[in-house]
């Protein structure tokens, strides 16, 4: 019996060893090299333990026991897409007055649902810029542990904001004495809030430099945090190795955030020549959500968006698209950020065609969601390309996105970390 048990044990060990070293081969009609902008015909990708080990063309795999060959002979391979500005806890079809009554556990469940939906749309990496109760950090950790399905996530905790500003909650009466958990005023208070976010697992920091479209009682163009406060936030976050995103619509807030050293500015609606020069000088990334205005103006009223907010959207929309065009022409660093939650999660790729319409080439738009976003996250040695040594985050579409960027709106195949999800 002992000999039999030993034989079974050794057999299982050998089987485990074989499975560990089994290779997945992925072949397709073509592959986009987002770095060179070239279309590679008949690629063969070798994948071991979630990592790309070889990229060849016009080759057939030599399969050993346990190997797998996935053939997508009518499709084009593209690196997994990356969205640098989402809010997974929010649902645009639920009025904001109802969201106030949702518990943190309920929001976390919403976030898990929308994370899976976004992964199936071809986005294998997200940056979630602000959520109550560290809910998306819990979702991120659940995805990493294999408990639930979703993209890899860089998650900010509660967004930092001034009292009564865009990242506070101004919808409740004063007798309730409610202040949003990310509110902090003064240089030392904001440093403490950054430290608190890091304590509870944030791997990105978000600050609100100006008013916003969807808050009550704020003006989108008005600066909120002072220069000293923004300097303190960025210094504290960078001291701890985290990147910082600044919500900023207004010109003075955009400039102050860039001078403070933020890694990215979100929205960037009212930009001027000086702001563009500063962004280029500092290497700041712009993340401009130029699609969601269409959804808000078409469906906002029926979704319960207040007239104050709809009016602010009307003020911002054309200005932001003009600013986008100016920034692209000037050669500012650009990443793909949609503010998903203002429109339905899973529709993220609809922004690509608008980026092309308002000034980008298809390759520039695709690079914004691949190699550029990877650089912003300081993960460009692992993410953003189909390349040996990189993580196997790969999607497939019908057609050539370098000719028709809209094909990214219909993703046929999704692989993350070498595992097929769609």
Angstrom distances, CA of residue 171 to CA of 51, 101, 179, 362: 47, 12, 10, 41
121 in Cβ contact with 347 (< 8 Å): yes
Angstrom distances, CA of residue 104 to CA of 111, 264, 417: 10, 27, 29
Q: Which residues contact 244 (CB under 8 A, 6 or more apart)?
A: 204, 205, 206, 207, 233, 234, 237, 238, 261, 262, 263, 264
Distance of alpha carbon 128 from alpha carbon 94, whole angstroms: 19
DSSP 408: G
Q: Is 19 helix (H, G, I), strand (E, B) or coil?
A: helix
Q: Report residue 294: phi and psi, to 5°.
A: -65, -45
Distance of alpha carbon 292 from alpha carbon 24, whole angstroms: 38
If phi over 0 gives left and psi between -120 and 50 gives alpha, with beta otherwise, what is residue 290? alpha
Q: Report residue 41: phi and psi, to 5°.
A: -85, 145
Task: Give catalytic residues, as residue numbers.
Answer: 206, 339
Comparing CA positions, the residue from 304, 277, 204 lying closest to residue 247 is 204
Residues counted in the chain: 422
State the burial class of residue 402 (Cβ atoms within 10 Å of its Cβ: 0-12, 13-18, 19+).
buried
Distance of alpha carbon 74 from alpha carbon 371, whole angstroms: 25
DSSP 81: E
Distance of alpha carbon 109 from alpha carbon 311, whole angstroms: 32
349 in Cβ contact with 122 (< 8 Å): yes
- Kindly provide the residue ranges of all beta strands, DSSP E only, lying in 198-263, ordered along the sequence: 205-208, 244-248
Q: Which residues contact 293 (CB under 8 A, 6 or more apart)?
A: 313, 316, 317, 320
312 in Cβ contact with 220 (< 8 Å): yes
289 in Cβ contact with 323 (< 8 Å): no
């Amino acid at each position: 019996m002992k000999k039999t048990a030993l034989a079974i044990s050794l057999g299982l060990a050998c089987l485990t060893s074989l499975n560990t070293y089994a290779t997945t081969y992925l072949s397709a009609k073509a592959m986009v090299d987002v770095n060179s902008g070239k279309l590679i015909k008949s690629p063969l990708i070798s994948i071991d333990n979630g990592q790309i080990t070889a990229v060849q063309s016009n080759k057939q795999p030599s399969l050993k026991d346990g190997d797998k060959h996935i053939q997508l002979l009518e499709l084009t391979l593209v690196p997994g897409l990356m969205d640098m500005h989402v809010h997974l806890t929010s649902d645009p079809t639920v009025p904001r007055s109802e969201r106030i009554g949702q518990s943190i556990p309920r929001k976390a469940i919403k976030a898990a649902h929308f994370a899976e939906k976004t992964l199936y749309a071809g986005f294998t990496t997200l940056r979630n810029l602000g959520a109550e109760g560290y809910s998306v950090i819990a979702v991120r950790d659940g995805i990493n542990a294999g408990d639930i399905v979703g993209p890899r996530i860089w998650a900010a905790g509660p967004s930092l904001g001034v009292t009564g500003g865009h990242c506070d909650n101004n919808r409740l009466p004063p007798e309730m004495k409610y202040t949003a958990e990310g509110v902090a005023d003064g240089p030392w208070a904001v440093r403490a809030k950054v430290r608190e976010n890091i304590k509870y697992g944030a791997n990105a920091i978000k600050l609100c430099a100006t008013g916003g479209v969807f808050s009550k009682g704020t003006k989108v163009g008005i600066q909120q945090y002072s220069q000293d406060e923004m300097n303190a936030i960025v210094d504290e976050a960078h001291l701890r190795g985290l990147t910082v995103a600044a919500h900023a619509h207004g010109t003075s807030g955009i400039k102050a955030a860039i001078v403070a050293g933020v890694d990215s500015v979100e929205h960037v609606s009212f930009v001027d020549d000086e702001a563009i020069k500063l962004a280029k000088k500092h290497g700041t990334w712009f993340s401009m959500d130029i699609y969601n205005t269409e959804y808000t103006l078409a469906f906002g009223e029926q979704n319960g968006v207040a007239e104050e907010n709809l009016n602010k959207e009307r003020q911002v929309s054309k200005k932001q698209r003009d600013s986008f065009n100016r920034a692209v022409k000037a050669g500012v660093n650009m990443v793909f950020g949609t503010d998903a939650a203002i429109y339905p999660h899973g529709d993220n790729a609809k922004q690509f065609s608008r980026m092309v319409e308002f000034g980008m080439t298809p390759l520039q738009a695709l690079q914004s969601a691949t190699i550029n976003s990877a650089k912003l996250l300081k993960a460009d040695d692992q993410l953003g390309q189909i390349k040996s040594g990189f993580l196997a985050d790969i999607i497939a579409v019908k057609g050539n996105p370098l000719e028709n960027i809209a094909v990214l709106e219909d993703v046929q195949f999704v692989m993350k970390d070498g595992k097929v999800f769609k």
